[in-house]
Amino acid sequence: MIRIYRYGEVPNSEIFKRSEETADVHAAVQEIVQSVRNGGDEALLAYCERFDGTRPEPLEVTEEMFRNALDEVGEEFAGLLKRAAVNIRAYHSMQKRDGFEIRKEDGSVLGQKILPIEKVGIYVPGGTAAYPSTVLMNAIPAKIAGCGEVVMVSPPTYQGRIHPAILAAAYVAGVDRVLQIGGAQAVAALAYGTQSVPKVDKIVGPGNVFVAEAKRQVFGQVAIDMIAGPSEILVVADSASDPVIVAADMLSQAEHDKNASAVLVTDSMKLAQAVAGELEKQIPILPRHEIAGTSIERNGKIIVADDIRQAVAIANEIAPEHLELCVDDPFALLEEVRHAGSVFLGRYCPEAMGDYYAGPNHTLPTMGTARFSSALSVDDFVKKTQYLYYTEEALKNAAQDVYDFAQREGLGGHAKSAMIRIDREVKI
């Protein structure tokens, strides 16, 4: 049964705490990463056989395999992927930025170039469910950014191969290469390169605790997007909300993972009790009822606030991955939202709309990191290069200031390099 709290009657440390199954994965992942770094393909394939039960053959997906996957998913699902991709491209195309240049009267030029990352690796989970939506959400922004090569990895856990829905999505998204590998060993292969796997510059995409730990360990060798935790949803709902719908929305994330977090914050004890009852009704009929039930038992909670504005303030404290504002005028509350990965406004915008179809990205900050992190975007697939040019006149105008600043920091070589161009006898 989900717990119901009155805000202020229980310490926040109790209300906001989360339970999570943890395992000491650091040492295990460190061994895998080092083995693949040193042993290349042979070590990679040995781990694939150990963890996925197969040595993928071929390692890299062929054109024929793409065609077979499209045939297997059928025209209807392929069409759905294409419609979702249109929405995702339209949204992310608006994020593309140009560089800038400043030209001053003294002839100096200052600017910034926006350059795509050359090689990007995308991790797409396999296991208990296939997520073609993850392919679209990660690959499409990378292609819009202009990345030279987008390499996808996913474990061959569907009849000894990658799930056809994932391959079909990769085809629709324009992924350049797909390799049938997963787990920490795939992250290591992307980070360091093997005989068959190209070394990339950045790795993005979600995964289990071993994948997350591998991304953490290779960070610095390559860039990463974020360390993603279990899924989260927080629903702010007023007394006029439908408890059936609120419960369904909470379960839409609880079914992801036993460690997922589903929270309702409301101004109505009556609604809180009704939603608690609805959860008990709806959990048993879900296909993933065991996962959803464990998630609700472990991390689910209902918080009763004094009013809706306090409910939004509570949401800001939690900083959830997904925030639903189930009220008649959600835009009136939107300005008060400070910390959330993605916000779903009104009574007709379920979180699932963002997962698959609407266009905004579903790769979002978790575990309270929405306080300082953002959704995956085109910005994650570009880098910024500065440039500057000074004429002789411009340098003469600025050299003394640069000299004085460098001397203040005790860096005589810096000072000399600025002044020597206009005074060969400069003293340091």
3-state per-residue secondary structure call for 165-182: HHHHHHHHHCCCEEECCC
> Taking 70 as the threshold, does the pLDDT of residue 228 lie above it?
yes
Residue 282 clears pLDDT 60, i.e. is over it: yes
Q: Are residues 71 and 199 in the same domain?
A: yes
Task: Grade residue 24 by pLDDT with cuts at 50, 70 and 90.
Answer: confident
- Given pLDDT bands bounded at 50, 70 and 90, which one contains residue 30? very high
Give the pLDDT band (50/70/90) at residue 4. very high
What pLDDT digit, counting tens, does each position of 333-370 carry?
999 999 999 999 999 999 999 999 999 999 999 999 99
Looking at the fold, whether 78 and 208 belong to one and the same domain comes out as yes
The string of DSSP letters for 264-279 reads: EEES-HHHHHHHHHHH
> How far apart, in whole angstroms, are the C-alpha atoms of residue 97 and residue 94?
8
CATH of the domain at 75: 3.40.50.1980
- Is 256 catalytic? The answer is no
Mention every residue, 6+ apart, whose C-beta is less than 8 A from residue 318.
16, 234, 263, 339, 368
Distance of alpha carbon 161 from its chain centroid, rounded? 25
Rounded average pLDDT over 13-31: 79
Do 240 and 160 reside in the same domain of the chain? Answer: no
Tell me which of 179, 209, 224 is where a domain ends: 224
Q: Are residues 335 and 274 in the same domain?
A: yes
How many structural domains comprise the chain? 3
Catalytic residue among 232, 321, 324, 351: 321
Given the residues 92, 256, 322, 362, the one annotated as active site: 322
Work out the pLDDT band at 323, boundaries 50, 70, 90: very high
What pLDDT is attached to residue 11? 82
* DSSP assignment of 345-397: ESTT--HHHHHHTSSS------TTGGGT-----GGGGEEEEEEEE--HHHHHH
Same domain, 270 and 299: yes
CA distances 332 to 320, 327, 353, 418, Å, are 19, 10, 21, 54
Look up 321 and say whether it is catalytic: yes
10 Å Cβ neighbour count for 285?
A: 7
**159-203 pLDDT per residue, tens:** 899 999 999 999 999 999 999 999 999 999 999 999 999 999 999
Confidence of residue 23 (pLDDT cuts 50, 70, 90): low
Alpha helices in 193-268 (DSSP H): 209-218, 243-254
Indicate if 205 and 248 belong to the same structural domain.
Answer: no
> Nearest Cα to 306, choosing from 333, 334, 342, 269?
269
Query: Range of 405's domain?
Result: 390-419
For the cut 70, the answer to whether the pLDDT of residue 145 exceeds it is yes
Residue 19 has pLDDT above 70, yes or no: no
* Average pLDDT of the residues of the chain: 95
